[in-house]
């Protein structure tokens, strides 16, 4: 998994917690990771506000609703249905919109825990792929791996997170 650091330019954003921006600049996030998540720049802009997000056209079913509620949210990444992964102003928590853009769903308590959960998710994908290289695509990740991942998430996050449902979906055909 290739990790990229964010541009130093985000350090000047007053609406992004210092700990968050420093982590993104010094450590970074993966460019792409399962389950089809993208993090980084959007046409060379890091953490654009939702109201000016250049990938909005790729998410026509939810953008208008989302931007009407959270125009100043910062876009950290994009998920499998092109839903933006966001940071709310002055808040370290990471959210994703539902596919209609009407609800915020909790992803992680901060970007540090996001990184930890991504690494844990990658490990179950790799373990499943070592037995069946198409396990992720075919949604046949073994139940034991999914349960282990969900247990590990509980060690990272105190709140219910979308990661659990994403993991469950990876094993629905197992």
DSSP states along 54-108 = TTGGG-TTTHHHHHHH-TT-EEEEE-TTSPEEEE-TT---EEEE-TTSS-EEEEE
> Which tokens go with 129?
């792929």
3-class secondary-structure state, position 3: strand
Q: What percent of the chain has a predicted confidence (pLDDT) above 70?
A: 100
Say if residues 11 and 21 touch (Cβ distance below 8 Å): yes
Structure confidence by residue, pLDDT tens digits, 54-72: 999 999 889 999 999 999 9
Return the number of other C-beta atoms located less than 10 Å from residue 23's C-beta: 20
Output the pTM of the full model: 0.93
Question: Cα separation of 124 and 118, whole Å?
Answer: 10
| Domain at 3-110, CATH class | alpha beta
DSSP states along 8-41 = GGGGG-TTS-HHHHHHHHHT-EESEETTTEEESE
What does the domain layout of the chain look like in residue ranges?
Answer: 3-110, 113-170
Model pLDDT, residue 85 = 96
Q: What percent of the chain has a predicted confidence (pLDDT) above 90?
A: 88
């Amino acid at each position: 998994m290739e990790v990229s650091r964010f541009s130093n330019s985000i350090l000047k954003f007053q609406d992004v917690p210092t700990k968050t921006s420093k982590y993104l600049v010094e450590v970074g996030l993966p460019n792409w990771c399962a389950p089809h998540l993208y993090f980084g720049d959007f046409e060379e802009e890091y953490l654009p506000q939702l109201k000016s997000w250049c990938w909005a056209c790729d998410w026509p079913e939810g953008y208008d609703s989302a931007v009407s509620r959270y125009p100043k949210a910062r876009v950290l990444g994009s998920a499998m249905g092109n839903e933006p992964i966001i940071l709310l102003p002055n808040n370290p928590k990471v959210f994703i919109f539902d596919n209609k853009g009407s609800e915020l769903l909790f992803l992680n308590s901060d970007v540090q825990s996001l990184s930890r959960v991504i690494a844990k998710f990658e490990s179950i994908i790799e373990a499943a792929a070592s037995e069946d290289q198409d396990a992720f695509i075919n949604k046949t990740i073994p139940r034991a791996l999914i349960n282990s991942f969900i247990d590990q998430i509980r060690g990272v996050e105190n709140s219910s997170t979308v990661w659990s449902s994403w993991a469950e979906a990876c094993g629905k055909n197992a």
